[in-house]
Structure 1
Amino acid sequence: MIFVTVGTHEQPFNRLIKKVDELVANGDIKEKVIIQTGFSTYVPQNCEAHKMMSFDEMQGALKKARIVITHGGPSSFIEALQFGKVPIVVPRQEKFHEHVNNHQVEFTKLIAKQMNNIIPVYQITQLKETIENYNRIITTKKTGESSNNGKFIRKFEIIVDDLMHGH
């Protein structure tokens, strides 16, 4: 199962939801897909969709998922990491009116470089290939315990702190 979460930011993230829906429709994704759509206006036709999910529903989906695809909101991918997953992170972009600025892109780049425990996808056209090659890609990433302990969380907090206070 693939779980997609776009978080609770009030701007739609139709670009990601549409792409995943299209990949299922084309047969590129053959497993079940559950999407938390948030404030997106596009309604997926080929996936199980929930506008919002309770904490327990989210935890259940994160636990069961073979692949977790998230937007670039830190809490979304931290949750995936806490379940030992290497999330595919598709940051929201200002030019597509998905966020007020490009901080998700900057944040994703920083975490990918410094922590090497996420799979960033900056061009939505790369999503199909990333999903197809997921098992090979994760072998090059830090997973499980190394990313789910106090040391990781402290390092993550330092990175967030540096970002918030302009390095």
Structure 2
Amino acid sequence: MIFVTVGTHEQPFNRLIQKIDELKKDGTIQDDVIIQTGFSTYEPKYCQWSKLIPYQQMVKNVADARIVITHGGPASFIMPLQVGKTPIVVPRQHQFNEHVNDHQVEFARNVSNRMGTIIDVEDIETLGDIITNYDQIVAGMGHGMSSNNAKFNEELEKLVDKLF
């Protein structure tokens, strides 16, 4: 399943929702799709959708999804990161009247460049290829995220080896 969320900002994000619906219609997306459309006016024809989704259901959708696609609001893409998923982030853009300025574009670009933990999509025409190649993209990211538990265990093993 692919879960898409555009948050609760009052400006529509029809561009993303329409693109996902088109990709589902043309078969580029094979997975089931659930979209949280927020204040968007476009109503998907090929995907399951709700304007707003209760928080616990959002958490479940993120956990159950193979791919999570979000707008560039930090709260929306932090949730998938917290459960170990690499979100595709499509920031809202001022030129399309999706937000008051381009802070989402700048923020997503910076997180992508500095942390390497999200897939930043500024050109929506590339979204189909990114979804199709998602697993390979994530595998090649090498964002260096590692568990502190693994580090702790490695250090503990070294100490135990020294004792014997």
Identity %: 58
Q: Which residue of 2 aligns with 1:157?
A: none
How many residue pairs align between the two structures?
149
User: 1:143: how far off?
Assistant: 6.5
What are the within-5 Å matches in structure 2 for residues 68-147 of structure 1? 68-142=68-142, 146=146
Hey, what's the Cα distance between the residues in 1 that align with 2:107 and 2:85? Answer: 19
Q: Which residue of 2 aligns with 1:52?
A: 52
Aligned-residue CA RMSD (Å)? 1.8
CA contact (8 A) 2:72 2:108 kept: yes
CA separation of 1:144/1:99 partners in 2, compared to 1, >3 Å: closer, same or farther?
A: same
CA separation of 1:25/1:74 partners in 2, compared to 1, >3 Å: closer, same or farther?
A: same
User: 1:139: how far off?
Assistant: 1.1
For structure 1, list consecutive stretches of 5 or more residues without a partner in the other structure. Answer: 150-167
Q: Which residue of 2 aligns with 1:63?
A: 63
User: 1:148: how far off?
Assistant: 9.5
Hey, what's the Cα distance between the residues in 2 that align with 1:88 and 1:21? Answer: 16
User: 1:83: how far off?
Assistant: 1.3
Hey, what's the Cα distance between the residues in 1 that align with 2:34 and 2:147? Answer: 25
For structure 2, list consecutive stretches of 5 or more residues without a partner in the other structure. Answer: 150-164
Hey, what's the Cα distance between the residues in 2 that align with 1:96 and 1:20? Answer: 17
TM-score by length of 2: 0.87
Hey, what's the Cα distance between the residues in 2 that align with 1:39 and 1:144? Answer: 36
1:18 and 2:18 aligned: yes
Q: Which residue of 2 aligns with 1:160?
A: none
Structure 1 runs (4+) deviating above 2 angstroms are 140-149
User: 1:64: how far off?
Assistant: 0.3
